[in-house]
Amino acid sequence: HGVSSLDFSPDGKLLCSVGQDPYHTVGIWDWDDGSLLTTARGHNAPVFTLSSTKVGNDYYIMSAGADPNINIWKLLPNGSLKGEIQKQHGMRNNITVFSLAITHGHLIVGFSDGTIKIFTVPSMGNAGFWKPHQGPIYNIAPAEDVKGFITGSQDQKFSCYYFK
């Protein structure tokens, strides 16, 4: 059914994938030999996007898609996933393709109506939202060196934001 999004684990040893398969799974793959280590079910609709991050000494995988949830798993060194947390994003619209990024302790989420919502990581507290675009947000690129991020949308605009 297709792979929607890929990301490496923060240490580069594992490849994480999500797709639009009938079971709405997250897959964890060994980068060295290509073997599937783990699959996890946590969504009830197609999964469009995922991102990984390191918080302290722990690695996390976050996934989102057509259901109202953002799922968070702790990624263990052996490729298994532990402690799923499901957080409702609180918006009417779906999270769009490639629109989830993590930077400076924040999860930035783009929605199909052009809204951006920010959560703190890993507590998933609400850190704000606004609507800078008039169409679906297709990409969010972290800009670590300037402590910010850039969004791109179907409205043919991009926007730059900085954390204080």
CA distance 36 to 25: 12
**Confidence (pTM):** 0.76
50 DSSP β-pair partners = 63
Q: Check whether 155 has a pLDDT greater than 80.
A: yes
Sorted by sequence, the CB contacts under 8 Å of residue 137 that are 6+ apart come out as 96, 99, 110, 111, 112, 114, 115, 116, 151, 152, 153
Confidence of residue 3 (pLDDT cuts 50, 70, 90): confident
Q: What is the mean pLDDT of residues 131-140?
A: 88
pLDDT at 12: 93
| pLDDT above 70 as % of the chain | 94
Q: What mean pLDDT value characterizes the chain?
A: 85
Confidence of residue 14 (pLDDT cuts 50, 70, 90): very high
CA distance 79 to 84: 14
